[in-house]
Chain A
Amino acid sequence: MPILQQILFVALFIIAIWLFTKKAGEIKRNIFLGRPENRNDNPSKRWKNVLLLALGQKKMFKNPLVALFHLIIYGGFIIINIEVLEILLDGILGTHRLFLPMLGNYYAFIINVFESLAVLVILVCVIFLSRRNIIKLKRFANKDLDGWPQSDANYILFIEIVLMSLFLLMNATDQAIQLNGSEHYKATGTLFFSSFISPYFSSMPLTSLIVFERTCWWFHIVGIFSFLNYLPYSKHLHIVLAFPNAYYARLNAIGQLNNMPSVQNEVLYAMQPELAPTNANTPEKFGAKDVFDLSWKNLMDAYSCTECGRCTTACPANITGKLLSPRKIMMATRDRLEEVGLNINQNKAFVDDGKSLIQNYISIEELRACTTCNACVEECPVSISPLDIIMELRRALIMEDSNAPQEWNSTFSNIENNFAPWKFAPDDRANWINEMPNN
């Protein structure tokens, strides 16, 4: 019997890892559908960003209480993984609490730390669920999240509560079995939180207890395998991508827009034709209409977004009732990219579906509302720049489609002909000098 369980466990483990790797490969492929962009310079500064922004969650601490809550779930998640290591080894080797003999008295201490974290994680998940569903915090009770995104967020919190509860129940029944004296279940010492639940199981017969304990153990670990495979379809993917996203975050001043060397050169050759190469290539497309025209980092941004809505809450356009929501820009980019990925899965290579990011997913009205104030970029805890995407789409609107509001066309022609956005005579530019005092 035990060997069958081991085989089943190993099979489930391999399937879980295989499915996850396959989907992760698809996501990686989708990200690299984007334009190449070199983000490998200055590694020391990049590692510092990983430490501060991803590991240290610096931006979260703009609101220390929420940061603490988030840190509990995040810390709980990482630290409890050490316990998952033991569970994995037990499952493969057919052992029970493999680390107990090695760690001796320290074992109970360590498990007690895990249990404390589990209890804290449950508490915080309950707080987070109530923020979404009872208090209805403005950035969560928002139409951006209607449908799947709202359910996704609730599922994640619910699954975490279930996983943590199973862990505590597993320990509680284990202690009840220990009292009954079973050779396989060695004394762990008191496990503080689960020992409160343990007495409720004391009247159960030993065989039922063992079945109960095993059931919790199996559901817990299968739950973790399932959760792993849920990640790629969820906003929860940020727990993985926040790290590379911090590493590859732009290091330039936040006010600097990406240069377009192709346009720079075209202007240069127009002004100084002698510099133009004889075999000048026809320039690439200008700006972005679809995900293929964005850079790979823009696409990784989309997969890293945890839909927290800090960007949208800080966006002056959104605050004043405009259609623009930086969070929605990121969600739309991911949705389109997933659609493109599915298209590739089905057809081996992308087959034109007559759709594009602009128009089908993001409207012109949204793009036109942006003040380029960078509040969204400043807010984002996982180093996303919604502004980068907005700007690339704006560039395509103007330079590919000549699609500008009439006022902007006048502004452009004024800048071009009068060297100022308004229609004043360039010769009058310094007229203010004549009005200087004592003149």
Chain B
Amino acid sequence: MKVNTMAEMLANGQTPEVLFWVGCAGSFDQRAQKITKAFATILNKVGINYAILGKEEACTGDPARRAGNEFLFQMMAYQNIQILNGYGIKKIITTCPHCFNTFKNEYPELGGSYEVIHHTSFLQQLIDEGKIKLKEGGEFKGKKIVYHDSCYLGRSNNIYEAPRKVLEALDAELVEMKRCKSNGLCCGAGGAQMFKEDEPGNKRINTERTDEALATGAEFIASACPFCNTMMTDGVKNREKETEVAVLDIAEMIAASME
């Protein structure tokens, strides 16, 4: 399956309909790469005319900004907006809620305005339009799935329903944690916490959240953010439940269930 870069498409005189913004985790983190490949597979199967930036993609600056390093954020924003505007990008799809939030809410006032879609919203749209056809009796049919809200998708951008609608399409039994939707508990990765040790405390945040997810008795923890995915996967390993409970991105679940 071929994945084109913007540069390649431009060289061939083609204009993609959307840009798939992969993000740093999706590009480099081994676990998150699987999510990227799953989502790219879906895009290819459905026949979406898309491209990635490849080597021209760079961190949006989200972790720098939230750590307090506004200079670095502004530098990254400047470079990215130059590239995106240079290619005349109108529509961006991303699998990372942090990139999503930065594009949607923070780049516009810096001169970068795009239609930004998170992959869960896009998947819901494709399912609703009948473009994604799911297998009868797929791997998740009747299985208990608990969805963990990403803060940057949920509270920050009010996207609570799209990921749940997609999961419902899997014919699974969707269960909720007590702290869900706008009351959802963070996985512990936001605000550049992903990149440093926790401050002293009595528990890690990802363990607290994973315990809550495990208590629902779900066999699958569904995530919609590569960082949440890492945090929850670590939490499950920490509780030695990795043989019973899998942490999967919604894109991976859909890719595995497509006809």
CB within 8 Å of B: which residues of A? 62, 252-257, 259-260, 263-264, 266-268, 271, 286-287, 314, 316-317, 319-324, 365, 368-375, 377-378, 391, 394-399, 404-405, 407-408, 410-412, 415-416, 419-422, 424, 426-430, 432-433, 435-439
Q: A255-B155, A373-B191 known; A321 and B203 CB under 8 Å? A: yes
Closest 5 CB pairs of A and B: A255-B156, A321-B202, A372-B191, A394-B68, A419-B58
Chain A CB within 8 A of B219 CB: no
Mark the stretch among B49-57, B120-128, B241-249 that contacts chain A: B49-57
Which A residue sits closest to B156, measured CB to CB? Answer: A255
Interface residues of B in 49-82 (CB under 8 A from A): 52, 54-55, 57-59, 61, 63-72, 74-76, 78
Q: Is B70 a contact of A255 with CB atoms below 8 Å?
A: no
Mark the stretch among B11-19, B35-43, B137-145, B170-178 that contacts chain A: B35-43
Chain A CB within 8 A of B216 CB: no
Which A residue sits closest to B71, measured CB to CB? Answer: A263
Chain A CB within 8 A of B215 CB: no
Q: A408-B192, A422-B24 known; A255 and B58 CB under 8 Å? A: no
Neighbouring A residues of B26 by C-beta, 8 Å: 432
Q: A255-B156, A415-B61, A415-B76 known; A430 and B185 CB under 8 Å? A: no
Which A residue sits closest to B157, measured CB to CB? Answer: A255
Which of B27, B40, B52 is in CB contact (< 8 Å) with A420?
B27
Which of A253, A394, A437 is in CB contact (< 8 Å) with B156?
A253
Measured CA separation A352–B2 after assembly (Å): 65
Which A residue sits closest to B110, measured CB to CB? Answer: A264
> What number of A-B contacts does a CB cutoff of 8 Å give?
222
Which A residue sits closest to B82, measured CB to CB? Answer: A271
Which of B27, B78, B156, B190 is in CB contact (< 8 Å) with A371?
B190
Q: A316-B205, A429-B57 known; A412 and B41 CB under 8 Å? A: no
Nearest Cβ in chain B — how far from A389, in angstroms?
13
Known A405-B197, A415-B76, A433-B52; further 7 A-B contacts with Cβ < 8 A: A257-B65, A264-B74, A267-B78, A323-B199, A378-B183, A404-B68, A416-B72
Q: A253-B156, A420-B58, A429-B54 known; A436 and B195 CB under 8 Å? A: no
Q: Is A420 a contact of B196 with CB atoms below 8 Å?
A: no
With an 8 Å Cβ cutoff, the count of chain B residues facing the other chain is 73
Neighbouring A residues of B67 by C-beta, 8 Å: 394, 398, 404, 408, 411-412
Measured CA separation A264–B77 after assembly (Å): 9
Measured CA separation A426–B76 after assembly (Å): 14
Neighbouring B residues of A62 by C-beta, 8 Å: 183
Q: Is B63 a contact of A395 with CB atoms below 8 Å?
A: no
Interface residues of B in 180-226 (CB under 8 A from A): 182-186, 188-205, 207-209
Q: Is B71 a contact of A373 with CB atoms below 8 Å?
A: no
Query: CB-CB contacts of B78-111 with A at 8 A, as 1s and 0s?
Result: 1000000000000000000000010011100110
Which of B24, B28, B156, B197 is in CB contact (< 8 Å) with A254?
B156
Q: A267-B71, A407-B195, A419-B58 known; A424 and B28 CB under 8 Å? A: yes
Q: Is B203 a contact of A421 with CB atoms below 8 Å?
A: no
Which of A253, A321, A397 is in CB contact (< 8 Å) with B105?
A253
Which of B5, B59, B104, B183 is in CB contact (< 8 Å) with A415?
B59
Nearest Cβ in chain A — how far from B4, in angstroms?
9
Measured CA separation A415–B60 after assembly (Å): 9
Q: Is A436 a contact of B208 with CB atoms below 8 Å?
A: no
